[in-house]
Amino acid sequence: MATRSCRGSCGTRSCSGGCFMLIASILVLSVLSPARTQDFGYDGAKGPSHWGEQYNSCTGKHQSPININSLDVKKVNLPPLVFQGFDVAPKETNLTNNGHTVFVTMDSEVTPTVSGGPLNGVYEYSQLHFHWGDNDTFGSEDMIDNHRFPMELHIVFFKQDYQNARTALNYPDGLTVLAFFFEIAPDDNPMYGEFIELLGNVTESHLSARFDVPPSLKELIADDLLHYYTYDGSLTTPPCSEVVTWIDFKEPILLSHAQVQAFRALKDEDGHPLTHNFRPVQPLGDRVVLFNTDEMIKQVDLDADVPPEVGEGVDTNKLDTPAKSDAGSLPAKDPSSRKHPRNGATVPVASRWSLLTAAMVLLVPLMFYSTIAKC
């Protein structure tokens, strides 16, 4: 792993720690968007419904965020996610208000990376930022079963093969975002103590503040990193490039109402309160959302005429290979056509014909003997 990695706009594997601070101060969302900060907003003529007028990708078919229907997801057993450097505290961490959100960049001896799961390759930390609403009933971008959370954390990584985040925008697997939802708790979250205090120093747009005790990424996220939804999507701000593998973790992070309220005190570029900065959900289209679980995945083919042979057990490491169960290796079905167990199961067409055939076999001899008896 590179030491004091500064891949990004510096374009080199190693440079001074000031590289990260430079990115924080002059680029929107840390090189994820070439747009000038005044080119988009969340209201009026600059709002999400107008983004497509300047950025064609914002009208694409695989946009984010989405509403995830937990009954329509496809359950899978993916390889474990591998987190490197998440437990290492950075040497220096800056918090910046860029007029659209508050985001965090860091200078660290060990740059955090993530791999495994649905990812093909190693992805390197770029920045993290937040989305929130003007009250505790909404604010997240992705939704689960039509439910919005009061806030959402996005930790953005770029694929190391592409050297930096800007170059990664040119590849369909260029970025991954680890997304965490927030729920309201009665007590403050001590892990976010200094974070919330620093928000008071960056109320105005384009102000930055430095952490006295920089937190590690592990301290800012949820504990359960096994259960998550994943799908292919886009950036949720212009240019809306469809290059993101989204990983939405099921377990929320807990913050108090007062802690979330501190984000709503920030101001945008026009000096107005930054009370909401989330994009509306986009159509799912032809995409399938996967849900990673530790359950054994078993699929029963109700249309089979004969019982399948005994198989080898569940293969938990191959996404593209149909899962094997105690009933054998069977092709996966479209989750949208699968009837949920709570609603009961319907008798398949093939089974109905089998029953009709059996009935005819019994009835025909009876009718024959009845006719002979009458004669």
Residues annotated catalytic, as ranges? 100
In Å, what is the CA distance from 243 to each residue of 28, 157, 159, 177?
17, 11, 11, 10
C-alpha–C-alpha distance, residues 3 and 17, integer Å: 11
> How far is it, in rounded angstroms, from Cα 118 to Cα 67?
20
How would DSSP label each residue in 177-246? EEEEEEEEESS--GGGHHHHHHHTT--STT-EEE-SSPPPHHHHS-S--S-EEEEEE--SSTT--S-EEE
Cα 158 to Cα 167: distance, rounded to the nearest angstrom? 9
Cα 27 to chain centroid distance, Å, stands at 23
CA angle 80, 86, 90 (to 5 degrees): 165
- Give the count of beta carbons closer than 10 Å to the beta carbon of residue 319: 15
> Which residues have C-beta within 8 Å of that of residue 87, sequence separation ≥ 6?
216, 217, 218
| Residue 88 · residue 95 · CB < 8 Å | no
Task: List the end-to-end C-alpha distance of the chain, in Å, as a whole number.
Answer: 94
Contact, 324 vs 312, CB < 8 A? yes
Q: Is the dihedral of CA 178, 184, 185, 187 positive or negative?
A: positive
Residue 372: phi and psi, rounded to 5, are -60, -40
